[in-house]
Each structure stands twice: as C-alpha cells, then as structure tokens.
Amino acid sequence: MDAPTEALTSLRCYRDASVRHASLAALLPPWLAPPAEASETLDHPLAAHIPLFSAHIHRLRDAAAALGELFPDTWARRWSVDDLLHSEAVAQLQAYVDRIQDSDTAVLRASLRIKADGTSYAVIAPLSPPPSVPPVVRLDTQSVFLDTATTPYKTDQRAAYDEARHRVHGTLGASPASDESACFDVLLWHDEHGEQVLTESSIANVVIEVPGPHPTLVTPSFVHLLPGLVVQALVHDGLVQQRRVSVHELQAWVSQSARLWLCNAVRGMFEVRLVTPA
C-alpha cells in the first residue's frame, strides 16, 4: 500500500464570528435540531467561525498519528493539537478570514492539509450557494470495496472516489441541478455475500429517512467507508442510527417517497434525488 502524501479536513468557514456559526446546527436543515452543544473546547479565534472546529483539528491529529504508525519512514512528524493550531494551514485560513471582513463574501470552503514532509497549507475559496432543487445522484455501476488501513482517514488518495463519480458522469455541481440529465454525485456500494451494500458518496455520507409509522434517519454502518464529522456528530447525538443498508432497501425506501440526504462538513446536510437508469 502506497503512503498518502497529505491528510486533510474540509470545512465551512463563516466570515462573521458567532456562536450560531460555530455550532453543528449551522450545517443541518432547520427541522433537524441537535441537542444543546457543549462550548468549543479549543481556544482559537477561528473556533467562532467554523462548525465542528475542534473535531477538524482532532481529525488531523488522529490522521497524522495513524499514518505515522502505518508509514513511519514517510510520516515522521506527529502533530499535536497545539502544533495544528499554530500551523501554517490554520494561519493562512485566519489571514484569509481577516482579509474578507469588509467584503461581500459571507462563507468560505476550506481544506486544511498536512503533508508527509511535516509542512501544512490551506486551500480556500468562496462557498457557492446550495442548489435550489435537490441534485441528482446515481448508484455506481460497479462494486467498490474500500478496505485499507487508511480508509477511515481523509487523505489525498481519492482515486477510487473520483473514478466512481466519473462512471456516472457526476459533476459535483458543475452542471445546473435543474438539468434533468445532470448528475451531481455517485452512491458507492460493494458486494457482500451476494448482496449490494450501500456505503457513501464520493464526497459525503448518506442519510436516509426510513418510512414507517415513526420514520427514522439511518446511515450506513461505519465500515468500508470514511465517516465524516457531521454524520459522526449526528450518530453521537442520537439523531441518526447506524445500520447495514442494502441497495435493495434503499431503492425500496425511495420508491415509498423516502427522503435522501448527503452530508459533509462543507456543504452540510442537503437533500438529493436518486435516479436510476431507464
């Protein structure tokens, strides 16, 4: 297994600092209210601009530790939380936020990246507004079984995700959602004992409303996929249940008008529409 060259975390960052912007609720639809949240545990100016700020920093720390164990010759540096708070990546994002205080840019998307050589940097851009209608997703045309020691960590090893998305011509929003032929993203699955088991999309986790007398929200179990920070928080708070989800179940629920969402820490939780080939 080749060593990743970068570990990263992707996030939403608001220009203005506020308690509301720093909360998980900023990433959720209004009807899904999380319980009262504990105050931010890390003392840093960006904590008031970024939902799940502590989780992002700890995610990078944990990835560096895991990669250091897996690839000690490549990943020699062990990043502490304090190292990350004083990293070049965080400093770049802080400087960018400072520069836009008098601008019309209200929300940013950013990626904080640590490299195997012990350096770091940030990739930052304005965040586009969400689509006005639920974008289309399609099931992958082949099985993708993610079962490596690096699968639970977000790294630059994204080929399996990118190839799956390209197979269904997913554009991640490059085409308007109102275009019926456009596809936003792909839903990945793998074959398990002759059954197709749902995992995730190429950029997000999946949340499904299971229809019934008491509808519940479920997400695929956190195996053979990358569990994002938003879905982890939703499961921790008891708002979403983990369980094994087959593609057959998903299609049956959708046929019963179940709602389907994707969620990640940049775009938040947003509704999508599953379309199957004619």
Q: How far apart are CA 59 and CA 153, in angstroms?
A: 8
pLDDT of residue 42: 87
pLDDT at 276 exceeding the cut of 90: no
Cα torsion 103, 105, 108, 112 to 10°: value is -20
User: What are the residue ranges spanned by the domains of the chain?
Assistant: 6-126, 136-274
Contact 186, 139 (CB under 8 A): yes
Report residue 23's pLDDT band, with 50, 70 and 90 as the boundaries: very high
Looking up tokens 């509301």, which residue turns up?
20
3-state secondary structure 105-138: CCEEEEEEEEECCCCEEEEEEECCCCCCCCCEEE
Q: In terms of CATH, what superfamily is 136-274? A: D-amino Acid Aminotransferase, subunit A, domain 2 (3.20.10.10)
Q: How far apart are CA 129 and CA 231, in angstroms?
A: 21
Find the length of the chain. Answer: 278
pLDDT of residue 131: 87
**pLDDT average, residue stretch 42-57:** 95
